Amino acid sequence: MNIRISRRSLALGLAATPLAAAAARAELVVSLDRANFQPMPIAIPDLQGEGDLGARVAAVIANDLQRSGVFAPIDKRAFIDKSVSPDVMPQFDSWRAINAQALVTGRVQRDSARMHAEFRLWDVASGEQATGQQYTTDANNWRRVAHLIADAIYSKITGAGGFFDSRVVYVDETGPKQARRKRLALMDQDGANVRYLTEGNELVVTPRFSPT
């Protein structure tokens, strides 16, 4: 199977702006080359918002970060503070009590066909904001916003570029051995949003794509 990873830049129609910290930015970092490296415990409560959208966005963020091997999302059942507003300082003692080193707070809002999202990453030890971002996009782009948030968190903590907002191009094969159907397909790096680019009538061997 031929696989190609393509990274999507912040495209027209998806605006992002930094979310300023009230205090000096914290230095919440992790070194990946230490021999005794352990994943960083991170708390990711459901983002505030309408319906279950905040929970779905938080779940994608947590899954992305966990798969990286750098983070260990804390089970929500262990949370002492169940409702976290992005507008107020978190109760850091509650998060220190469950050994969280980092905390993510945020909200998502839908306005007609648009979606507005914001997040803040907190250093639990120092009680300071490490980074924050705001996004505005089409409402159906909520999964991509979650991937972008995960990228921002990963980049801030590790100093390396994130890869969650990427897509995989692959050849999907179905049918019996004597009559295999091969279709060029595209999916998010976590396996979601599968889209077929060909119908299976064309020969698919080594597809090439423009960088843009």
Go through the domains of the chain in sequence order and give each one's CATH number.
11-158 (3.40.50.10070)
Beta strands in 112-165 (DSSP E): 114-123, 128-138
Burial tier of 14 (Cβ tally within 10 Å: 0-12, 13-18, 19+): middle
Average pLDDT over residues 91-101: 96
Q: Closest by alpha carbon to 4, among 164, 187, 150?
A: 187
185 compared with 40, residue with greater pLDDT: 40
206 compared with 102, residue with greater pLDDT: 102
Please tell me the number of Cα atoms within 13 Å of 107 on its side-chain side. 13
Share of the chain above pLDDT 90, in %: 46
Confidence category of residue 82, pLDDT binned at 50, 70, 90: confident
Answer yes or no: is pLDDT of 140 > 80: yes
Do 83 and 25 touch, CB atoms closer than 8 A?
no
- Residue 23's pLDDT is what? 46
Confidence category of residue 211, pLDDT binned at 50, 70, 90: low
Please name every residue paired with 15 in a beta bridge, in sequence order, or none if there are none: 136
d(CA 78, CA 193): 31
